[in-house]
Amino acid sequence: MFQQRIDRARHLMAEQQVDVLLLSVGADLPYFCGYEAMALERLTMLVVPRDGDAHLIVPRLEAPRVVERPGVFQTVPWDETDDPIEMVCSLIGRASTAAIGDHTWAGFLVDLTKVLPSVDFRRASELTSPLRSVKDAAEVESLRAAAAAADRVAVDLRSGDIELAGRTEAEVSAELGRRLLAEGHQRVNFAIVAAGENAASPHHEPGERVIKPGEIVLCDFGGTMMNADGVGYCSDITRCVHLGEPPAELDKAYDVLFEAQAAQVAAAVVGQQCQQVDRVGRAIIAEAGFGDNFIHRTGHGIGTEAHEDPYIVEGNDSALRPGHAFSIEPGIYLPGRWGLRLEDIVVAAADGPDNLTTTDHRLAVIDA
């Protein structure tokens, strides 16, 4: 699998006249070699020449964490007194164009440009994003497993099994994270819990605000689950709970949101423009009078990163392809009052949109 991915990358390297691919920290590295580097000041870098063998430069103290993959890459450990930049340069050879990982530390890039002033450095994402954005069948199943685990936590949330009233947002956020781990995730990427007026801030940071009866509670959470190859795939889900009967205005707004999100999922078919999926739901929300209250894109791609291509947003006229995986998450936000969001992970499939998150989409109403 990893060799096939490198082979596809080399095909694009030839098309784009890139001599070498350099991948450090970030999601590209595990995608191509199965190893996730720690974000340390010590350089880890996968060097993939267009022609020739791939090498993984790694600090010797980190080398035991690397799963050797003969025929895919050769591990080259470096000691504390070695110069890893020099080692990378020796493997680059006479390359004139290098695609370097977007998340590579700036300091390493500066060091490389000093030693290799004639090399034209480009973003690796120009090569890697087109490959990573189209998931194969095994990747879809990895995403499905992560989504199912997040779904189980969402069911607990909607059922009232996770206590809300009288607890702080931070306490509930921590519990969501614990439950994600218990359901098989290796890492919690985020667990937004936003009550009442805080729900009007889409990326609210859970704090010491106590959740009260009579309020909306917006919960958006997800993490990373490793598959059998040691590569992590992400989950992401948003559901809303109201403690007690919701006011009529909020109830109406949620009905609009429910309709818009369902229409966007249905529109996410192979061949459809990403921006058109965004437009479908945005038109429904605008017609109901909440157009100015939908303040973000409809969705983002998901895979080894929580946010990656393709982005479901106005201006992205690229067409959905089989294997594209992305969120559909419209929202309605009234500043100082409340906010609503409804999110699923969807895969564009040959026979129609494949919704990976199945937890009840209706507004959950729990006795406070």
d(CA 264, CA 332): 15
| Spatial CA neighbour of 219 closest among 262, 301, 162, 266 | 162
CB 349 within 8 A of CB 270: yes
Indicate the pTM of the whole model: 0.94
Q: Which two tokens stand for residue 273?
A: 């423009």
| Spatial CA neighbour of 199 closest among 161, 125, 268, 250 | 250
d(CA 98, CA 87): 15
Q: How many CA atoms lie within 13 A of 19 on its CB side?
A: 13
* Amino acid at residue number 143: L
Per-residue DSSP letter, 272: -
Q: Which two tokens stand for residue 247?
A: 């006011």
Question: Nearest 5°: CA angle at 279, between 277 and 281?
Answer: 80
d(CA 331, CA 333): 6
Helix (H, G, I), strand (E, B) or coil at 110: helix
| Spatial CA neighbour of 329 closest among 286, 282, 271 | 282
CB 25 within 8 A of CB 104: yes
Q: Which residue has the tokens 């000691």?
A: 79
CB 147 within 8 A of CB 235: yes
Q: Mind listing the pLDDT tens digit for each residue in 25-47?
A: 999 999 999 999 988 899 999 99
d(CA 144, CA 4): 22
d(CA 344, CA 8): 30
Q: Print pLDDT tens along the chain (368 aa).
A: 899 999 999 999 999 999 999 999 999 999 999 999 988 899 999 999 999 999 999 999 999 999 999 999 999 999 999 999 999 999 998 999 999 999 999 999 999 999 999 999 999 999 999 999 999 999 999 999 999 999 999 999 999 999 999 999 999 999 999 999 999 999 999 999 999 999 999 999 999 999 999 999 999 999 999 998 889 999 999 999 999 999 999 999 999 999 999 999 999 999 999 999 999 999 999 999 999 999 999 999 999 999 999 999 999 999 999 999 999 999 999 999 999 999 999 999 999 999 999 999 999 999 87
**What was the pLDDT predicted at 303?**
97
Q: Mind listing the pLDDT tens digit for each residue in 319-365?
A: 999 999 999 999 999 999 999 999 999 999 999 999 999 999 999 99
Residues in a beta bridge with 281: none
**What was the pLDDT predicted at 93?**
87
* Amino acid at residue number 31: Y
